[in-house]
């Protein structure tokens, strides 16, 4: 699944455990320590995972706290679909129109994230 995905170098900066009050799940923190995002084809879609040190600025730019309180964005498909984490530690997909009614919870573990993103796109 990750064969055509180009990972960024590991994150070696100061530990970041939350963005806009949303606590980052341990599985995501461990993934970022090893890869710090990247981008590529994961099967059913293109995935771009943003570096952790850019998340605050990206979320501020999108005004996520205003449109989807209790959620943060961690990546996209390179187009109009965004991926994120909610305050319950669940990973989700949402179109960039930012209406919670269109939000789809995918999983609660970064280890399952790519698999669940592919499952989401297969079932559309």
Residue 86 maps to a domain: yes
Residue 80 maps to a domain: yes
Residue 19 maps to a domain: no
pLDDT of residue 110: 87
Residue 94 maps to a domain: yes
CATH number at residue 95: 3.40.1580.10
Domain count, the chain: 1
Helix (H, G, I), strand (E, B) or coil at 47: strand
Give the span between the Cα atoms of 90 and 106, in whole angstroms.
7
Range of the domain at 51: 4-11+44-122
Residue 16 maps to a domain: no
Give the span between the Cα atoms of 29 and 85, in whole angstroms.
12
Per residue, the 3-state secondary structure of 49-90, as one string, reads ECCHHHHHHHHHHHCHHHHCCCEEEEEECCCCEEEEEECCCC
**pLDDT by 10s per residue, the chain, length 124:** 889 999 999 999 999 999 999 999 999 999 999 999 999 999 999 999 999 999 999 999 999 999 999 999 999 999 989 999 999 999 999 987 777 788 899 999 989 999 999 999 988 7
Residue 71 maps to a domain: yes
pLDDT of residue 101: 80
């Amino acid at each position: 699944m990750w064969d055509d995905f180009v990972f960024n170098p590991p994150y070696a900066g100061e530990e970041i455990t939350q963005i806009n009050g949303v606590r980052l799940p341990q599985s995501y923190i461990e993934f970022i320590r090893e890869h710090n995002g990247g981008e590529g084809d994961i099967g059913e879609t293109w995935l771009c995972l943003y570096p952790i040190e850019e998340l605050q600025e990206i979320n501020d730019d999108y005004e996520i706290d205003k449109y989807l309180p209790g959620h943060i964005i961690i990546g996209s498909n390179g187009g109009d679909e965004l991926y994120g984490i909610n305050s319950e530690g669940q990973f989700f997909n949402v179109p960039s129109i930012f209406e919670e009614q269109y939000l789809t919870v995918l999983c609660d573990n970064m280890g399952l994230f790519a698999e669940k993103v592919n499952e989401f796109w297969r079932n559309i």
